[in-house]
Structure 1
Amino acid sequence: MRGPATRPRHVIVLTLPLGNGHTAAAHVIASVLRRDGTRVSVYDPSEGLFPLFPLARVLSRFYRFAVNWRAGTVHIALYRLADRHPAGTSRMVSILFGRRFRSWLASIGPADSYVSTFSLLGYLLAEAGGAPVVSFVTDAGAVNRIWFQGAVEKYIVPDTGSLATALLCGVDSDRVSVVRPPMSAGVEMDKDQARRRLKLEDRFTVLVTGGGSGLGKGVLEAARALVSARTDVQLLLNAGSNADLRREFTDLCATGTRCTVTGFSPDFPLMLAACDVVVGKAGWLTLNEAMSARRPTLIVDVVPGQEEGNCSFAEKARVGRRIEPGDVPEAVRRYAASASALKEEFSFSNDMLSSAWADEMARDLKKTLTG
């Protein structure tokens, strides 16, 4: 295994717009590495790989279509193909994009080390050779085997399930590190303060969110069920960057229900602090933001294959549970009627949830990158 002998002067982190979790992880990693003065650059290759073609926008729209059309049929097919034939899929991507990727990589300047938050980018980086590559796996459980292809220097995985997949793929144990979930520091504000900042009433509040990309039909179904049931609660409907979902949410609120509709907003941490429970999908980013704020998540959307491990992780840690969208109003009524109901069903004292995760990640990344 290669090992850099000197402290890195410049780390480049690469990501792709196929789910907001990959991009968010890239920026979190960058912020961790910058703590001691390490120079870090974050790039999305799809923004520069084809100067005259809007690849980033096409990928983002395709991902949204793939996970939503006909219950995610397209995404399921592609996910299974990659999992069953990881080496062949990686090689095909290299044949199609490898030369242009290497040319683009040379154009952004040299780096002492690379970090990838998307599986195929780790493969392409390792294939390009030169500086060592760290691949940061952004899902939990039995993740797709395509993550563990190529001569990647080190893998950072979130749990023992993803570690097991790496070992089954033939990755040496000394090339894999388990780092606890990427929980942010959260918002240092209590519930009452957050509600005042957001001009909300002081009542039981449910945050319904489709994540940063506003994905998930179950999220919309759950919102409709809550509005139709006329529960005596306050709703925060967050559509992320999905304009269509925001319009749907806005139409729902026209009925006079107590609710606030938002799109992608820097106030999302405030919304988490203001709410009592989150209703959303099993995206790794969404779950970890909720865990960071110590808010339980009712999971109404799970992208097949990709997010099933995340859902299992949340249920095992007792920070979330899977539920049918139509059953959300009944659960919310029960939680709103009794504060003890939430405490009995969910727990945030599990050892898997460490507020010191950033320090652990920083130590592991620096050890990997500096040798």
Structure 2
Amino acid sequence: MHIALLYVDAGKGHITPARALSDALQRLGHTTVVENLFATVGSPMINWISKYNWRLQLHFPKMETKVNAKSDTAANAKRVRYVTTHSHAIKDFKIWFDQVKPDLIVVTHFLAASMIQPLVDVLELKVPVFEYAADVVFTPNLGINKNLDRLYICTEIGKELAIRAGQPEHTIRICPFPLKTELMQSKPLSKQEARRKLGLKDCFTVLLNLGGEGIGTADFLEEVAERNLDWQVITVGELSGSTKVHYKLFKEKHPDFPLYTPGFVKNIQDYICACDVQAGKAGANALMESLSLQRPFLISSLLYSAWPTTIFFERRKVGWVENDVSKQVDILQAYSSNQSEQQKMQQAFKDLPLVFDSDAFAKQIIADAAEVMKLKFGIAVNPS
């Protein structure tokens, strides 16, 4: 099969699973194309606005939760569908489709429901449209559409909320999380092995995650330094301009604080293995990669699309949600000194009903595509 994987260029949360699934599908012998969703409908300006708006909102997370909660409505979903199917998007999408000729379209963004599936219906194209809910615990209203052939989501709370929002249960599949290829093919190290490999101290270690955009402050670092805790903190990835300023000032103020900023790394799995806890913005990829390696996550900035993570953590006991910096350090300080709580956390990971396997997800997609194409279009496809 020839499969198109469409993403939206707003952070790494959507392109990362698209690439992971592309790699996995190719390992199964299929061909793929990974494409920006807005490029398929000839809308580079909307793509720029979307990307800029997302980065702006990350600087103001409280604003992000309020703005997106108010705008994520069924009425707005209808507006997006109307504009999409009454604009140049029809012509541009048909041109793209005729050039690429995909047998299946998989979209790692909720606009699958509000843009791509409606276009496929209007053009009467015989191609299944599958949506992957990249936020893993939630599908926005703009991602709900009874005509989707499949809606994939990794968690039971995500499925429950999608059904409550109006997505037919028969279209929903709980799926494995699509791990990046480098994580799929790596062997996890022990904490001590990872720390030796990376040249780190053997002490309580926090991996501070600022998301794919590297946007954050030094407030957490200041709180740890003020308490004189025997911890080390690692921040990976490229820092935004404002974040670099915050970190520079912190290092000048606390030159002896064990802060490591290795920049962009290709071996993120080693850094996760080296840490005791990840903390930071609730990006789905960072969260799930942490859970796959059995490291708890403290969410310090709960964005709108991640709000059900609080429910998930209450059920599964594999992390915390806390916006107040002082209370964040309270939580980790208590955890770092309590062996009993650490043992309970490890047991919670053993009981976690999640699968982390992009190859298994790719096989699920191909099997579902064969089923949909036979039942909906009368086209027989060999899933192997």
TM-score, normalised with respect to structure 2? 0.82
Q: Shift of the alpha carbon at 1:209?
A: 1.0
**Which residue, 9, 13, 17 being the options, matches 1:21?**
13
**Which residue, 167, 172, 178 being the options, matches 1:176?**
172
1:92-171 equivalence runs, <5 A = 92-95=83-86, 98-99=89-90, 101-102=92-93, 105-106=96-97, 108-129=99-120, 130=125, 131-149=127-145, 151-171=147-167
Q: Please, which runs of 5 or more residues in structure 1 have no aligned partner?
A: 1-8
Question: Which residue of structure 2 aligns with residue 30 of structure 1?
Answer: 22
Q: Shift of the alpha carbon at 1:336?
A: 3.2
- 1:282/1:311 contact within 8 Å kept: no
User: 178-187 vs 324-333, which deviates more?
Assistant: 178-187
Question: Which residue of structure 2 aligns with residue 5 of structure 1?
Answer: none
Question: Which residue of structure 1 aligns with residue 220 of structure 2?
Answer: 222
Q: Shift of the alpha carbon at 1:46?
A: 4.0
CA change 1:273–1:215 in 2 (3 A) is same
1:205-354 equivalence runs, <5 A = 205-215=205-215, 220-240=218-238, 242-254=240-252, 255-256=254-255, 257-304=257-304, 306-323=305-322, 324-345=324-345, 347-354=348-355
CA-to-aligned-CA distance 1:35-87 (integer Å, 9 cap, x gap): 21111111113467659x57655432320112433x44256324432324222
Question: Which residue of structure 2 aligns with residue 6 of structure 1?
Answer: none
The alignment of Structure 1 onto Structure 2 pairs a total of residues equal to 357
- 1:155/1:176 contact within 8 Å kept: yes
User: 225-234 vs 346-355, which deviates more?
Assistant: 346-355
Provide the C-alpha distance between the structure 2 equivalents of 1:315 and 1:247, rounded to a whole number of angstroms: 36
DSSP 3-state at the match of 1:367: helix
Which amino acid counterpart does residue 89 of structure 1 have in structure 2?
V
Which amino acid counterpart does residue 176 of structure 1 have in structure 2?
I
DSSP 3-state at the match of 1:332: helix
- 1:98/1:124 contact within 8 Å kept: no
Which amino acid counterpart does residue 236 of structure 2 have in structure 1?
N
DSSP 3-state at the match of 2:349: coil
CA change 1:132–1:33 in 2 (3 A) is same
RMSD: 2.8
CA-to-aligned-CA distance 1:263-319 (integer Å, 9 cap, x gap): 332232221111111111222111101101211111111013x11013322342221
CA change 1:264–1:11 in 2 (3 A) is same
Which amino acid counterpart does residue 312 of structure 2 have in structure 1?
F
DSSP 3-state at the match of 2:139: coil
TM-score, normalised with respect to structure 1? 0.85
Q: Shift of the alpha carbon at 1:262?
A: 3.5
Matched, 1:82 2:72: yes
Which amino acid counterpart does residue 36 of structure 1 have in structure 2?
L
Provide the C-alpha distance between the structure 2 equivalents of 1:84 and 1:123, rounded to a whole number of angstroms: 10
Q: Shift of the alpha carbon at 1:226?
A: 1.8
CA change 1:78–1:338 in 2 (3 A) is closer
- 2:112/2:130 contact within 8 Å kept: no
Provide the C-alpha distance between the structure 1 equivalents of 2:79 and 2:46, rounded to a whole number of angstroms: 23
Provide the C-alpha distance between the structure 2 equivalents of 1:108 and 1:225, rounded to a whole number of angstroms: 55
DSSP 3-state at the match of 2:320: strand
- 2:41/2:90 contact within 8 Å kept: no
Q: Shift of the alpha carbon at 1:28?
A: 1.7
Q: Shift of the alpha carbon at 1:320?
A: 0.8
Q: Please, which runs of 5 or more residues in structure 2 have no aligned partner?
A: 372-384
Which amino acid counterpart does residue 116 of structure 1 have in structure 2?
V
User: 78-87 vs 360-369, which deviates more?
Assistant: 78-87
- 1:148/1:166 contact within 8 Å kept: yes
DSSP 3-state at the match of 1:348: helix
CA change 1:341–1:170 in 2 (3 A) is closer
Question: Which residue of structure 2 aligns with residue 63 of structure 1?
Answer: 54
Which amino acid counterpart does residue 261 of structure 1 have in structure 2?
T
CA change 1:121–1:188 in 2 (3 A) is same
Percent sequence identity is: 18
Provide the C-alpha distance between the structure 1 equivalents of 2:334 and 2:312, rounded to a whole number of angstroms: 24
CA change 1:60–1:332 in 2 (3 A) is same
- 2:133/2:153 contact within 8 Å kept: yes
